[in-house]
Structure 1
Protein backbone atom coordinates (compact mmCIF):
# COMPACT_ATOMS: atom_id res chain seq x y z
CA UNK A 1 0.00 0.00 0.00
CA UNK A 2 1.08 3.54 -0.80
CA UNK A 3 -0.47 6.75 0.53
CA UNK A 4 -0.23 10.20 -1.07
CA UNK A 5 -1.45 13.59 0.21
CA UNK A 6 -3.51 15.33 -2.47
CA UNK A 7 -4.07 19.04 -1.93
CA UNK A 8 -7.25 20.16 -3.67
CA UNK A 9 -6.63 23.81 -2.81
CA UNK A 10 -6.68 26.22 0.11
CA UNK A 11 -9.28 28.70 1.27
CA UNK A 12 -10.30 30.74 4.31
CA UNK A 13 -13.24 30.54 6.69
CA UNK A 14 -14.47 32.76 9.48
CA UNK A 15 -12.64 31.85 12.67
CA UNK A 16 -15.70 32.41 14.82
CA UNK A 17 -17.73 29.99 12.73
CA UNK A 18 -14.92 27.44 12.89
CA UNK A 19 -14.74 27.55 16.70
CA UNK A 20 -18.36 28.14 17.70
CA UNK A 21 -18.76 29.43 21.26
CA UNK A 22 -15.01 29.50 22.01
CA UNK A 23 -13.74 33.10 22.39
CA UNK A 24 -11.32 34.43 19.79
CA UNK A 25 -8.74 35.18 22.50
CA UNK A 26 -8.41 31.41 22.92
CA UNK A 27 -8.67 29.98 19.40
CA UNK A 28 -6.44 32.59 17.75
CA UNK A 29 -3.47 31.18 19.69
CA UNK A 30 -3.47 28.14 17.40
CA UNK A 31 -5.36 29.49 14.37
CA UNK A 32 -4.47 33.18 13.89
CA UNK A 33 -7.01 35.23 11.95
CA UNK A 34 -6.44 37.96 9.38
CA UNK A 35 -7.99 41.45 9.52
CA UNK A 36 -11.31 40.00 8.33
CA UNK A 37 -11.35 37.30 11.03
CA UNK A 38 -10.61 34.62 8.42
CA UNK A 39 -8.33 31.66 9.17
CA UNK A 40 -6.31 29.43 6.83
CA UNK A 41 -8.05 26.23 5.76
CA UNK A 42 -6.81 23.41 3.53
CA UNK A 43 -8.67 20.87 1.42
CA UNK A 44 -6.14 18.08 1.93
CA UNK A 45 -7.35 14.81 0.40
CA UNK A 46 -5.74 11.38 0.59
CA UNK A 47 -4.96 8.92 -2.21
CA UNK A 48 -4.63 5.22 -1.39
CA UNK A 49 -2.86 2.93 -3.87
CA UNK A 50 -3.64 -0.66 -2.98
CA UNK A 51 -4.44 -3.91 -4.83
CA UNK A 52 -4.68 -2.26 -8.27
CA UNK A 53 -7.06 0.34 -6.90
CA UNK A 54 -6.63 4.07 -6.47
CA UNK A 55 -8.99 5.39 -3.81
CA UNK A 56 -9.29 9.16 -3.41
CA UNK A 57 -10.75 10.34 -0.11
CA UNK A 58 -12.67 13.61 -0.62
CA UNK A 59 -12.22 16.04 -3.51
CA UNK A 60 -12.31 19.63 -2.24
CA UNK A 61 -14.62 22.29 -3.69
CA UNK A 62 -13.89 21.76 -7.36
CA UNK A 63 -13.88 24.67 -9.80
CA UNK A 64 -17.36 24.82 -11.34
CA UNK A 65 -18.89 27.43 -9.04
CA UNK A 66 -19.12 31.14 -9.86
CA UNK A 67 -16.51 33.77 -9.04
CA UNK A 68 -19.02 35.22 -6.58
CA UNK A 69 -19.25 31.88 -4.79
CA UNK A 70 -15.47 31.47 -4.51
CA UNK A 71 -15.18 35.10 -3.41
CA UNK A 72 -16.74 34.13 -0.10
CA UNK A 73 -13.92 31.66 0.57
CA UNK A 74 -10.82 33.67 -0.35
CA UNK A 75 -8.95 30.98 -2.28
CA UNK A 76 -5.18 31.10 -1.87
CA UNK A 77 -2.18 29.13 -3.15
CA UNK A 78 -1.74 27.23 -6.40
CA UNK A 79 -2.59 23.67 -5.36
CA UNK A 80 -5.15 21.56 -7.22
CA UNK A 81 -6.12 17.92 -7.47
CA UNK A 82 -4.66 17.62 -10.96
CA UNK A 83 -1.32 19.14 -9.94
CA UNK A 84 -1.11 16.93 -6.89
CA UNK A 85 -1.97 13.77 -8.81
CA UNK A 86 0.56 14.61 -11.51
CA UNK A 87 3.23 15.11 -8.87
CA UNK A 88 2.86 11.44 -7.94
CA UNK A 89 2.50 10.18 -11.52
CA UNK A 90 -1.28 9.84 -11.63
CA UNK A 91 -4.19 11.29 -13.61
CA UNK A 92 -7.80 11.68 -12.47
CA UNK A 93 -8.82 9.00 -14.98
CA UNK A 94 -6.71 6.52 -13.00
CA UNK A 95 -8.91 6.87 -9.92
CA UNK A 96 -11.03 3.75 -9.31
CA UNK A 97 -12.91 4.94 -6.21
CA UNK A 98 -13.83 8.31 -4.72
CA UNK A 99 -14.74 8.00 -1.05
CA UNK A 100 -16.73 11.00 0.21
CA UNK A 101 -16.61 11.45 3.97
CA UNK A 102 -19.75 13.58 3.62
CA UNK A 103 -21.42 15.72 0.99
CA UNK A 104 -20.75 19.28 2.13
CA UNK A 105 -19.48 21.25 -0.86
CA UNK A 106 -15.89 21.62 0.39
CA UNK A 107 -15.56 17.83 0.57
CA UNK A 108 -17.40 16.66 -2.55
CA UNK A 109 -17.55 19.61 -4.98
CA UNK A 110 -14.58 18.32 -6.97
CA UNK A 111 -16.36 15.04 -7.71
CA UNK A 112 -18.52 16.70 -10.37
CA UNK A 113 -17.48 19.08 -13.16
CA UNK A 114 -19.03 20.91 -16.10
CA UNK A 115 -19.29 18.98 -19.34
CA UNK A 116 -17.34 20.33 -22.33
CA UNK A 117 -19.93 22.85 -23.51
CA UNK A 118 -21.12 23.76 -19.98
CA UNK A 119 -24.67 22.60 -20.62
CA UNK A 120 -24.64 20.09 -17.80
CA UNK A 121 -22.52 18.17 -15.32
CA UNK A 122 -20.48 14.99 -15.41
CA UNK A 123 -18.25 13.01 -13.04
CA UNK A 124 -14.79 14.52 -12.74
CA UNK A 125 -13.44 10.97 -12.27
CA UNK A 126 -15.02 9.09 -15.14
CA UNK A 127 -13.73 5.62 -14.18
CA UNK A 128 -14.48 5.81 -10.45
CA UNK A 129 -17.19 4.63 -8.16
CA UNK A 130 -18.38 7.27 -5.71
CA UNK A 131 -18.92 6.08 -2.15
CA UNK A 132 -21.42 7.45 0.37
CA UNK A 133 -23.97 5.79 2.69
CA UNK A 134 -27.75 5.65 2.52
CA UNK A 135 -28.44 7.62 5.68
CA UNK A 136 -26.16 10.49 4.77
CA UNK A 137 -27.33 10.49 1.15
CA UNK A 138 -30.94 10.95 2.25
CA UNK A 139 -29.84 13.64 4.73
CA UNK A 140 -28.03 15.52 1.95
CA UNK A 141 -30.71 15.17 -0.73
CA UNK A 142 -33.49 16.23 1.65
CA UNK A 143 -31.47 18.84 3.57
CA UNK A 144 -32.48 20.63 6.74
CA UNK A 145 -32.55 24.41 6.51
CA UNK A 146 -29.35 24.80 8.48
CA UNK A 147 -27.25 22.70 6.10
CA UNK A 148 -29.06 23.56 2.88
CA UNK A 149 -26.33 25.97 1.77
CA UNK A 150 -23.69 23.26 2.22
CA UNK A 151 -25.48 20.53 0.24
CA UNK A 152 -25.45 21.83 -3.34
CA UNK A 153 -27.63 19.96 -5.83
CA UNK A 154 -25.08 20.29 -8.63
CA UNK A 155 -22.53 18.44 -6.48
CA UNK A 156 -24.80 15.59 -5.43
CA UNK A 157 -27.51 14.57 -7.88
CA UNK A 158 -25.14 14.17 -10.89
CA UNK A 159 -23.31 11.46 -8.93
CA UNK A 160 -26.48 9.40 -8.72
CA UNK A 161 -27.42 10.18 -12.32
CA UNK A 162 -24.03 8.91 -13.51
CA UNK A 163 -24.80 5.38 -12.26
CA UNK A 164 -21.46 5.41 -10.41
CA UNK A 165 -22.83 5.87 -6.89
CA UNK A 166 -22.24 3.12 -4.34
CA UNK A 167 -23.20 2.93 -0.66
CA UNK A 168 -21.21 1.42 2.16
CA UNK A 169 -23.00 -0.68 4.71
CA UNK A 170 -23.92 0.93 8.02
CA UNK A 171 -22.35 -0.32 11.25
CA UNK A 172 -24.15 -1.80 14.22
CA UNK A 173 -21.99 0.41 16.47
CA UNK A 174 -19.66 3.23 15.45
CA UNK A 175 -17.08 1.31 13.41
CA UNK A 176 -17.53 -0.62 10.17
CA UNK A 177 -14.89 -2.90 8.67
CA UNK A 178 -15.20 -2.44 4.91
CA UNK A 179 -13.39 -5.35 3.27
CA UNK A 180 -14.04 -4.03 -0.24
CA UNK A 181 -12.32 -0.70 0.36
CA UNK A 182 -9.72 -2.20 2.68
CA UNK A 183 -10.11 0.13 5.66
CA UNK A 184 -12.32 0.60 8.71
CA UNK A 185 -14.81 3.47 8.89
CA UNK A 186 -15.77 5.37 12.03
CA UNK A 187 -19.25 6.89 11.75
CA UNK A 188 -19.97 10.20 13.49
CA UNK A 189 -23.25 12.14 13.59
CA UNK A 190 -22.42 15.38 15.39
CA UNK A 191 -21.22 17.41 12.41
CA UNK A 192 -23.72 15.90 10.00
CA UNK A 193 -25.63 12.64 9.74
CA UNK A 194 -23.31 9.62 9.27
CA UNK A 195 -20.07 11.39 8.44
CA UNK A 196 -17.47 8.71 7.67
CA UNK A 197 -13.92 8.76 9.07
CA UNK A 198 -11.59 6.29 7.26
CA UNK A 199 -9.09 4.42 9.47
CA UNK A 200 -6.32 2.97 7.31
CA UNK A 201 -3.76 0.39 8.39
CA UNK A 202 -0.39 1.41 6.93
CA UNK A 203 3.03 -0.02 7.81
CA UNK A 204 1.98 -0.91 11.34
CA UNK A 205 0.28 2.44 11.90
CA UNK A 206 -3.35 3.54 11.87
CA UNK A 207 -3.92 6.65 9.74
CA UNK A 208 -7.25 8.30 10.56
CA UNK A 209 -8.59 10.73 7.97
CA UNK A 210 -10.30 13.17 10.31
CA UNK A 211 -12.56 15.14 7.91
CA UNK A 212 -14.71 17.44 10.08
CA UNK A 213 -14.58 15.41 13.29
CA UNK A 214 -11.29 17.22 13.99
CA UNK A 215 -10.83 20.02 11.41
CA UNK A 216 -7.52 21.38 12.76
CA UNK A 217 -5.09 20.70 15.59
CA UNK A 218 -6.56 23.77 17.27
CA UNK A 219 -9.84 21.89 17.73
CA UNK A 220 -8.38 19.27 20.09
CA UNK A 221 -9.94 20.62 23.32
CA UNK A 222 -13.38 19.04 23.53
CA UNK A 223 -15.44 22.29 23.73
CA UNK A 224 -13.76 23.59 20.57
CA UNK A 225 -16.60 22.57 18.26
CA UNK A 226 -17.44 24.22 14.95
CA UNK A 227 -20.49 26.42 14.65
CA UNK A 228 -21.27 24.38 11.53
CA UNK A 229 -21.97 21.20 13.52
CA UNK A 230 -25.66 20.28 13.62
CA UNK A 231 -25.44 18.40 16.93
CA UNK A 232 -22.58 20.01 18.91
CA UNK A 233 -23.24 18.07 22.14
CA UNK A 234 -22.99 14.83 20.20
CA UNK A 235 -19.74 16.05 18.62
CA UNK A 236 -18.36 16.48 22.15
CA UNK A 237 -19.03 12.83 22.94
CA UNK A 238 -17.78 11.56 19.58
CA UNK A 239 -14.57 13.59 19.80
CA UNK A 240 -13.91 12.42 23.33
CA UNK A 241 -14.32 8.74 22.43
CA UNK A 242 -12.27 8.99 19.26
CA UNK A 243 -9.45 11.10 20.72
CA UNK A 244 -9.13 8.76 23.71
CA UNK A 245 -8.86 5.86 21.26
CA UNK A 246 -6.32 7.79 19.18
CA UNK A 247 -4.18 8.53 22.23
CA UNK A 248 -4.41 4.96 23.54
CA UNK A 249 -3.58 3.37 20.18
CA UNK A 250 -1.17 6.07 18.89
CA UNK A 251 -3.22 6.87 15.78
CA UNK A 252 -1.79 9.27 13.22
CA UNK A 253 -4.47 11.87 12.55
CA UNK A 254 -4.53 13.15 8.97
CA UNK A 255 -6.02 16.63 9.16
CA UNK A 256 -7.99 17.56 6.07
CA UNK A 257 -8.53 21.21 6.94
CA UNK A 258 -5.41 22.19 8.89
CA UNK A 259 -3.30 24.21 6.45
CA UNK A 260 -0.19 24.05 8.63
CA UNK A 261 -0.29 20.74 10.56
CA UNK A 262 -0.82 17.89 8.07
CA UNK A 263 -0.57 14.91 10.42
CA UNK A 264 -0.53 14.81 14.22
CA UNK A 265 -0.44 12.39 17.10
CA UNK A 266 -2.10 13.04 20.45
CA UNK A 267 -1.47 12.13 24.07
CA UNK A 268 -3.29 12.05 27.40
CA UNK A 269 -2.62 15.01 29.73
CA UNK A 270 -4.17 16.42 32.91
CA UNK A 271 -6.26 18.69 30.68
CA UNK A 272 -7.45 15.86 28.45
CA UNK A 273 -6.15 14.68 25.09
CA UNK A 274 -3.75 17.20 23.61
CA UNK A 275 -1.26 17.54 20.75
CA UNK A 276 1.79 15.29 20.93
CA UNK A 277 3.74 15.55 17.66
CA UNK A 278 3.29 17.13 14.23
CA UNK A 279 4.43 15.39 11.04
CA UNK A 280 4.54 16.10 7.33
CA UNK A 281 3.26 13.50 4.91
CA UNK A 282 6.85 12.78 3.87
CA UNK A 283 7.64 11.83 7.46
CA UNK A 284 4.94 9.14 7.53
CA UNK A 285 4.25 8.05 3.93
CA UNK A 286 7.60 6.51 3.03
Structure 2
Protein backbone atom coordinates (compact mmCIF):
# COMPACT_ATOMS: atom_id res chain seq x y z
CA UNK A 1 0.00 0.00 0.00
CA UNK A 2 1.05 3.58 -0.71
CA UNK A 3 -0.58 6.83 0.37
CA UNK A 4 -0.38 10.25 -1.29
CA UNK A 5 -1.94 13.57 -0.36
CA UNK A 6 -3.90 15.20 -3.18
CA UNK A 7 -4.34 18.96 -2.98
CA UNK A 8 -7.51 19.91 -4.84
CA UNK A 9 -7.41 23.66 -4.10
CA UNK A 10 -7.56 26.34 -1.43
CA UNK A 11 -10.34 28.66 -0.40
CA UNK A 12 -11.45 30.87 2.50
CA UNK A 13 -14.35 30.71 4.93
CA UNK A 14 -15.71 33.05 7.56
CA UNK A 15 -13.74 32.48 10.75
CA UNK A 16 -16.76 33.04 12.95
CA UNK A 17 -18.72 30.35 11.14
CA UNK A 18 -15.76 28.00 11.42
CA UNK A 19 -15.50 28.43 15.20
CA UNK A 20 -19.12 28.86 16.28
CA UNK A 21 -19.43 30.40 19.74
CA UNK A 22 -15.69 30.82 20.28
CA UNK A 23 -14.71 34.55 20.28
CA UNK A 24 -12.52 35.84 17.48
CA UNK A 25 -9.94 37.10 20.00
CA UNK A 26 -9.27 33.43 20.78
CA UNK A 27 -9.50 31.65 17.41
CA UNK A 28 -7.66 34.40 15.57
CA UNK A 29 -4.48 33.35 17.36
CA UNK A 30 -4.40 29.97 15.61
CA UNK A 31 -6.36 30.79 12.43
CA UNK A 32 -5.68 34.44 11.63
CA UNK A 33 -8.39 36.17 9.63
CA UNK A 34 -8.01 38.67 6.80
CA UNK A 35 -9.77 42.03 6.66
CA UNK A 36 -13.01 40.30 5.62
CA UNK A 37 -12.88 37.91 8.59
CA UNK A 38 -11.95 35.01 6.29
CA UNK A 39 -9.48 32.28 7.21
CA UNK A 40 -7.35 30.07 4.98
CA UNK A 41 -8.76 26.66 4.14
CA UNK A 42 -7.49 23.63 2.23
CA UNK A 43 -9.42 21.01 0.29
CA UNK A 44 -6.91 18.23 0.90
CA UNK A 45 -7.70 14.73 -0.28
CA UNK A 46 -5.95 11.38 0.18
CA UNK A 47 -5.07 8.80 -2.46
CA UNK A 48 -4.74 5.16 -1.40
CA UNK A 49 -2.91 2.80 -3.76
CA UNK A 50 -3.55 -0.77 -2.68
CA UNK A 51 -2.83 -3.43 -5.28
CA UNK A 52 -5.08 -2.85 -8.29
CA UNK A 53 -7.30 -0.47 -6.34
CA UNK A 54 -6.66 3.29 -6.41
CA UNK A 55 -9.02 5.06 -4.00
CA UNK A 56 -9.39 8.83 -3.81
CA UNK A 57 -10.78 10.07 -0.50
CA UNK A 58 -12.82 13.24 -1.14
CA UNK A 59 -12.57 15.45 -4.23
CA UNK A 60 -12.74 19.12 -3.20
CA UNK A 61 -15.10 21.68 -4.74
CA UNK A 62 -14.54 20.98 -8.43
CA UNK A 63 -14.99 23.80 -10.92
CA UNK A 64 -18.45 23.52 -12.48
CA UNK A 65 -20.25 26.25 -10.54
CA UNK A 66 -20.12 29.85 -11.74
CA UNK A 67 -18.08 32.88 -10.71
CA UNK A 68 -20.77 34.08 -8.31
CA UNK A 69 -20.68 30.80 -6.38
CA UNK A 70 -16.90 30.64 -6.15
CA UNK A 71 -16.77 34.34 -5.31
CA UNK A 72 -18.18 33.47 -1.89
CA UNK A 73 -15.16 31.28 -1.17
CA UNK A 74 -12.22 33.47 -2.30
CA UNK A 75 -10.29 30.73 -4.10
CA UNK A 76 -6.51 31.07 -3.90
CA UNK A 77 -3.39 29.14 -4.87
CA UNK A 78 -2.76 26.93 -7.88
CA UNK A 79 -3.50 23.43 -6.60
CA UNK A 80 -5.78 21.09 -8.54
CA UNK A 81 -6.64 17.41 -8.48
CA UNK A 82 -5.18 16.88 -11.94
CA UNK A 83 -1.85 18.52 -11.07
CA UNK A 84 -1.62 16.65 -7.80
CA UNK A 85 -2.47 13.28 -9.32
CA UNK A 86 0.09 13.88 -12.08
CA UNK A 87 2.80 14.62 -9.52
CA UNK A 88 2.38 11.04 -8.31
CA UNK A 89 2.17 9.53 -11.80
CA UNK A 90 -1.62 9.14 -12.00
CA UNK A 91 -4.59 10.58 -13.86
CA UNK A 92 -8.33 10.63 -13.14
CA UNK A 93 -8.83 7.57 -15.35
CA UNK A 94 -6.59 5.51 -13.03
CA UNK A 95 -8.87 6.05 -10.03
CA UNK A 96 -10.98 2.95 -9.32
CA UNK A 97 -12.88 4.24 -6.29
CA UNK A 98 -13.89 7.64 -4.91
CA UNK A 99 -14.68 7.50 -1.20
CA UNK A 100 -16.66 10.50 0.02
CA UNK A 101 -16.49 11.33 3.72
CA UNK A 102 -19.74 13.22 3.23
CA UNK A 103 -21.57 15.00 0.42
CA UNK A 104 -21.08 18.67 1.27
CA UNK A 105 -19.97 20.59 -1.83
CA UNK A 106 -16.39 21.16 -0.66
CA UNK A 107 -15.85 17.40 -0.37
CA UNK A 108 -17.86 16.05 -3.31
CA UNK A 109 -17.92 18.84 -5.93
CA UNK A 110 -14.93 17.46 -7.82
CA UNK A 111 -16.61 14.09 -8.32
CA UNK A 112 -18.90 15.44 -11.07
CA UNK A 113 -18.09 17.68 -14.03
CA UNK A 114 -19.79 19.25 -17.01
CA UNK A 115 -20.14 17.00 -20.02
CA UNK A 116 -18.29 17.95 -23.22
CA UNK A 117 -20.94 20.32 -24.61
CA UNK A 118 -21.98 21.62 -21.14
CA UNK A 119 -25.55 20.41 -21.51
CA UNK A 120 -25.42 18.21 -18.44
CA UNK A 121 -23.15 16.50 -15.95
CA UNK A 122 -21.01 13.38 -15.90
CA UNK A 123 -18.63 11.63 -13.49
CA UNK A 124 -15.19 13.23 -13.37
CA UNK A 125 -13.75 9.76 -12.68
CA UNK A 126 -15.23 7.61 -15.42
CA UNK A 127 -13.74 4.33 -14.22
CA UNK A 128 -14.51 4.72 -10.52
CA UNK A 129 -17.22 3.67 -8.12
CA UNK A 130 -18.45 6.44 -5.82
CA UNK A 131 -18.82 5.39 -2.19
CA UNK A 132 -21.12 6.90 0.44
CA UNK A 133 -23.57 5.22 2.84
CA UNK A 134 -27.31 4.82 2.65
CA UNK A 135 -28.10 6.92 5.73
CA UNK A 136 -26.06 9.85 4.52
CA UNK A 137 -27.37 9.54 0.96
CA UNK A 138 -30.94 9.81 2.24
CA UNK A 139 -29.93 12.79 4.39
CA UNK A 140 -28.20 14.57 1.49
CA UNK A 141 -30.81 13.96 -1.20
CA UNK A 142 -33.62 15.18 1.08
CA UNK A 143 -31.71 17.99 2.77
CA UNK A 144 -32.78 19.96 5.80
CA UNK A 145 -32.97 23.75 5.55
CA UNK A 146 -29.69 24.20 7.44
CA UNK A 147 -27.63 22.08 5.03
CA UNK A 148 -29.52 22.62 1.78
CA UNK A 149 -26.92 25.09 0.48
CA UNK A 150 -24.17 22.51 1.04
CA UNK A 151 -25.92 19.56 -0.64
CA UNK A 152 -26.04 20.56 -4.31
CA UNK A 153 -28.02 18.19 -6.50
CA UNK A 154 -25.63 18.59 -9.44
CA UNK A 155 -22.83 17.23 -7.24
CA UNK A 156 -24.80 14.27 -5.97
CA UNK A 157 -27.51 12.88 -8.24
CA UNK A 158 -25.29 12.26 -11.31
CA UNK A 159 -23.38 9.65 -9.28
CA UNK A 160 -26.54 7.61 -9.01
CA UNK A 161 -27.65 8.32 -12.56
CA UNK A 162 -24.31 7.05 -13.89
CA UNK A 163 -24.72 3.68 -12.19
CA UNK A 164 -21.40 4.18 -10.40
CA UNK A 165 -22.80 4.79 -6.91
CA UNK A 166 -22.17 2.28 -4.11
CA UNK A 167 -23.00 2.23 -0.40
CA UNK A 168 -20.56 1.20 2.31
CA UNK A 169 -22.04 -1.46 4.58
CA UNK A 170 -22.30 -0.68 8.29
CA UNK A 171 -23.33 -3.96 9.92
CA UNK A 172 -22.66 -3.18 13.59
CA UNK A 173 -22.36 0.14 15.38
CA UNK A 174 -20.43 3.15 14.20
CA UNK A 175 -17.04 1.59 13.47
CA UNK A 176 -16.23 -0.80 10.65
CA UNK A 177 -12.86 -2.45 11.24
CA UNK A 178 -12.34 -3.28 7.56
CA UNK A 179 -14.64 -1.94 4.88
CA UNK A 180 -15.08 -3.05 1.29
CA UNK A 181 -12.28 -0.63 0.41
CA UNK A 182 -9.76 -2.29 2.71
CA UNK A 183 -9.62 0.27 5.52
CA UNK A 184 -11.57 0.98 8.70
CA UNK A 185 -14.30 3.61 8.92
CA UNK A 186 -15.54 5.58 11.92
CA UNK A 187 -19.05 7.01 11.47
CA UNK A 188 -19.89 10.33 13.14
CA UNK A 189 -23.17 12.26 13.29
CA UNK A 190 -22.31 15.64 14.83
CA UNK A 191 -21.29 17.50 11.69
CA UNK A 192 -23.79 15.76 9.44
CA UNK A 193 -25.54 12.40 9.38
CA UNK A 194 -23.07 9.50 9.13
CA UNK A 195 -19.92 11.32 8.08
CA UNK A 196 -17.26 8.66 7.40
CA UNK A 197 -13.68 8.96 8.68
CA UNK A 198 -11.24 6.48 7.10
CA UNK A 199 -8.75 4.78 9.42
CA UNK A 200 -5.81 3.31 7.53
CA UNK A 201 -3.12 0.97 8.84
CA UNK A 202 0.03 1.92 6.99
CA UNK A 203 3.67 0.91 7.57
CA UNK A 204 3.17 0.43 11.29
CA UNK A 205 1.19 3.67 11.67
CA UNK A 206 -2.52 4.35 12.03
CA UNK A 207 -3.55 7.31 9.90
CA UNK A 208 -7.01 8.82 10.21
CA UNK A 209 -8.43 11.19 7.62
CA UNK A 210 -10.09 13.67 9.98
CA UNK A 211 -12.45 15.35 7.45
CA UNK A 212 -14.82 17.71 9.29
CA UNK A 213 -14.47 16.05 12.67
CA UNK A 214 -11.28 18.11 13.07
CA UNK A 215 -11.02 20.74 10.30
CA UNK A 216 -7.85 22.46 11.58
CA UNK A 217 -5.41 22.32 14.48
CA UNK A 218 -7.28 25.30 15.91
CA UNK A 219 -10.32 23.07 16.48
CA UNK A 220 -8.66 20.67 18.93
CA UNK A 221 -10.21 22.12 22.15
CA UNK A 222 -13.57 20.42 22.61
CA UNK A 223 -15.84 23.52 22.60
CA UNK A 224 -14.30 24.75 19.33
CA UNK A 225 -17.06 23.47 17.08
CA UNK A 226 -18.03 24.78 13.67
CA UNK A 227 -21.23 26.75 13.25
CA UNK A 228 -21.90 24.43 10.30
CA UNK A 229 -22.35 21.34 12.51
CA UNK A 230 -25.94 20.15 12.73
CA UNK A 231 -25.55 18.62 16.21
CA UNK A 232 -22.81 20.60 17.98
CA UNK A 233 -23.22 18.93 21.38
CA UNK A 234 -22.87 15.54 19.72
CA UNK A 235 -19.78 16.79 17.91
CA UNK A 236 -18.22 17.59 21.28
CA UNK A 237 -18.89 14.05 22.54
CA UNK A 238 -17.64 12.46 19.33
CA UNK A 239 -14.57 14.67 19.22
CA UNK A 240 -13.73 13.82 22.84
CA UNK A 241 -13.73 10.10 22.03
CA UNK A 242 -11.85 10.67 18.78
CA UNK A 243 -9.10 12.85 20.27
CA UNK A 244 -8.69 10.82 23.45
CA UNK A 245 -8.24 7.68 21.37
CA UNK A 246 -5.72 9.46 19.14
CA UNK A 247 -3.78 10.69 22.17
CA UNK A 248 -3.85 7.23 23.78
CA UNK A 249 -2.61 5.42 20.69
CA UNK A 250 -0.44 7.97 18.89
CA UNK A 251 -2.60 7.90 15.77
CA UNK A 252 -1.66 10.36 13.03
CA UNK A 253 -4.45 12.72 11.99
CA UNK A 254 -4.44 13.91 8.39
CA UNK A 255 -6.24 17.26 8.22
CA UNK A 256 -8.38 17.92 5.17
CA UNK A 257 -9.05 21.62 5.76
CA UNK A 258 -5.96 23.00 7.49
CA UNK A 259 -4.10 24.99 4.85
CA UNK A 260 -0.91 25.16 6.90
CA UNK A 261 -0.74 21.87 8.84
CA UNK A 262 -1.03 18.57 7.00
CA UNK A 263 -0.61 15.82 9.62
CA UNK A 264 -0.61 16.07 13.41
CA UNK A 265 -0.49 14.01 16.57
CA UNK A 266 -2.14 14.98 19.86
CA UNK A 267 -1.38 14.39 23.52
CA UNK A 268 -3.06 14.49 26.92
CA UNK A 269 -2.36 17.62 29.00
CA UNK A 270 -3.80 19.12 32.17
CA UNK A 271 -6.00 21.25 29.88
CA UNK A 272 -7.28 18.25 27.92
CA UNK A 273 -6.09 16.88 24.61
CA UNK A 274 -3.82 19.31 22.80
CA UNK A 275 -1.51 19.43 19.80
CA UNK A 276 1.68 17.37 20.12
CA UNK A 277 3.55 17.40 16.80
CA UNK A 278 3.03 18.70 13.27
CA UNK A 279 4.33 16.81 10.23
CA UNK A 280 4.54 17.26 6.50
CA UNK A 281 2.56 14.48 4.90
CA UNK A 282 5.59 13.51 2.80
CA UNK A 283 7.48 12.69 6.01
CA UNK A 284 4.74 10.38 7.30
CA UNK A 285 3.39 8.78 4.11
CA UNK A 286 6.62 6.95 3.24
**TM-score of Structure 1 vs Structure 2, range by shorter chain:** over 0.9
Does residue 86 in structure 1 map to residue 86 in structure 2?
A: yes
- What is the deviation of 1:282? 1.1
Q: In the TM superposition, what whole-angstrom CA distance separates every residue of 1:61-99 from its partner, at most 9, and x where no partner exists? A: 000000000000000000000000000000000000000
Partner Cα separation in structure 1 for residue 221 and residue 259 of structure 2: 18
CA distance in structure 1 between the partners assigned to 2:271 and 2:165 by the alignment: 43
- The ranges of structure 1 where at least 4 consecutive aligned residues each deviate by more than 4 angstroms after the TM superposition are none
Q: Does 1:19 align with 2:19?
A: yes
Structure 2 partner of 1:226: 226
- Residue 96 of structure 2 corresponds to 96
> Number of residue pairs matched?
286
1:238 aligns with 2:238: yes
Structure-2 residue corresponding to 1:215: 215
Contact 2:169–2:179 (8 Å) recurs in 1: no
Equivalent position SS for 1:276: strand
Map of 2:57 onto structure 1 = 57
Tell me the equivalent position of 1:43.
43
Aligned partner of residue 139 in structure 1, secondary structure: helix
**Structure 2, unaligned stretches of length 5 or more?**
none
CA deviation after TM superposition for structure 1 residue 180, in Å: 2.3
Per-residue CA deviation, residues 194-226 of structure 1 (Å, 9 max, x unaligned), is: 000000000010100000000000000000000
Change (3 A) 1:171 1:280: farther
Q: Match of 2:177?
A: 177
Residue 285 of structure 1: CA displacement?
1.1
Q: Partners in 1 of 2:186 and 2:158 — Cα distance?
A: 26
Unpaired runs of at least 5, structure 1: none
Distance in 1, Cα, partners of 2:9 & 2:171 = 32
Return 171-180 or 274-283, whichever deviates more.
171-180
Q: Distance in 2 between matches of 1:171 and 1:17?
A: 35
How do 1:250-265 and structure 2 match up within 5 A? 250-265=250-265
Per the alignment, residue 136 of structure 2 pairs with 136
Which residue matches 1:277? Answer: 277
The answer to whether the Cα contact below 8 Å between 2:179 and 2:185 also exists between their aligned partners in 1 is no
For the residues of structure 2 that align with 1:127 and 1:240, how far apart are their CA atoms?
38
SS of aligned partner of 2:177: strand
RMSD value over aligned CA atoms? 0.6
How big is the shift at 1:171? Answer: 4.5
Q: CA deviation at 1:10?
A: 0.1
- Bigger drift between 186-195 and 175-184 goes to 175-184
1:9 and 2:9 equivalent? yes
In structure 2, distance between residues paired with 1:285 and 1:190: 29
- When normalised by structure 1's length, the TM-score is 0.99
Tell whether 2:73 aligns with 1:66. Answer: no
TM-score using structure 2 length: 0.99
Identify the residue that residue 105 of structure 2 maps to in structure 1.
Answer: 105
Correspondence list, 1:147-226, <5 A: 147-226=147-226
Match of 1:31, SS state, is coil
Tell me how far 1:179 sits from its aligned partner. 4.1
